[in-house]
Amino acid sequence: MSGRWARAMLSAYRFAGAAAYPLVGPYVAWRTSRGKEDRNRRRERYGVAGRPRPEGPVIWIHAASVGETIAVVPLVESILDYGVNIVLTTGTVTSAQVADERLGDRIIHQYVPLDLKPAVSRFLDHWRPDLAIIAESEIWPMTILELGARHVPQVLVNGRLSDRSFTSWKKRANIAEALFENLAHVVAQSDVDGERFRALGARPVTVSGNLKVDTNPPPVDDRALGTLQRQIGKRPTWAAISTHDGEEVVAAEVHATLHKRHHGLLTIVVPRHPDRAEALAAQISGMGLKVARRSKGDRIGPDTDILLGDTIGEMGLYLRLTEIAFVGRSLTSEGGQNPLEPAMLDTAVLAGRNVQNFREAYQRLIDSGGAKLVRDRDMLAGAVNFLLTNEVARHEMMAAGIATVDEMRGALARTLKSLEPYIQPLVVKSRLKGANGR
DSSP bridge partners of 157: 135
Using an 8 Å Cβ cutoff, are 156 and 183 in contact? yes
Between CA 360 and CA 230 the distance in angstroms is: 37
* Per annotation, catalytic residue among 37, 44, 55, 68: 68
Cβ–Cβ < 8 Å for 208, 411? yes
Order of strands, sheet of 306-308, starting from the edge strand that comes earlier in the sequence: 291-293, 306-308, 266-271, 237-243, 324-327, 348-351, 371-373
End-to-end Cα distance, the chain: 48
Which region holds residue 264: left if phi is over 0, alpha if psi is between -120 and 50, else beta?
A: left
Which of 176, 126, 151, 171 is closest to 6 using CA atoms? 176
Q: Could you tell me which of 141, 128, 146, 133 has the C-alpha nearest to residue 49?
A: 128
The yes-or-no answer on residue 77 being catalytic is no
Report the 3 state secondary structure along 138-186.
CCCHHHHHHHHHCCCCEEEEEECCCHHHHHHHHCCHHHHHHHHCCCCEE
CB 151 within 8 A of CB 116: no
Pairing of strands 131-135, 58-62: parallel
User: Could you tell me the CA-to-CA distances from 2 to 150, 168, 183, 205, 320 in Å, in that order?
Assistant: 16, 22, 16, 23, 54
Output Rg (C-alpha) for the chain, integer angstroms: 23
**Angle between the 3-10 and 141-149 helix axes, to the nearest 10 degrees?**
160
Phi, psi of 306 (to 5 degrees): -125, 125
Separation CA 383–CA 371 (nearest Å)? 11
Cite the active site residues.
68
